Amino acid sequence: MKICEILKVEKIIPSMQCTNKEEAIIELINLFKEDDRVKDTESVKNAVFEREKIMSTGVGKGFAIPHAKTNSVSEIIAAFGKIDKPIDFQALDDQPVNLVFLLVGKENLVGPHIKLLSRISRMMNLDDFRENLAKAATAEEIYQLFETEEKQYFEGV
């Protein structure tokens, strides 16, 4: 499963105004309020916040990947946001976060969920990719960067 199969342009926020971790997560989850694949956005929020309590998903280098598994979704969903003023996400490297990738999967789709988390993490470890995302001004540009990077590094995977 590819990132660009689950991440859609309309689920990308190129300029988030949030001031803390909770607002960032809620802003991304709210993109799914009218989405047929999500039965209950409140349950999705609860699942993501419960996972966040275990350990921060701020993985470092200005990037966070809040995620969870819940049967409140019918398939794996994703959203991405770029925060204008980096926020404290209790990241592992204690650095503020400006790039947030939300991933929510179904309880029984553990394998694809883990593969996607791994793929996203590997891409976000690339300094050039993160820098290009930070410079991108539109949702379309951001999506294009994900698509290009994924083709470059994961074709045939």
Q: Write out the catalytic residue numbers.
A: 67
Phi, psi (degrees; rounded to nearest 5) at 106:
-75, 150
Give the pairing type, strands 97-105 and 67-69.
parallel
Pairwise CA distance, residues 63 & 24, whole Å: 12
Whose CA is closest to 140, among 1, 35, 4? 4
Helices (H) and strands (E) in the chain, counts: 6, 6
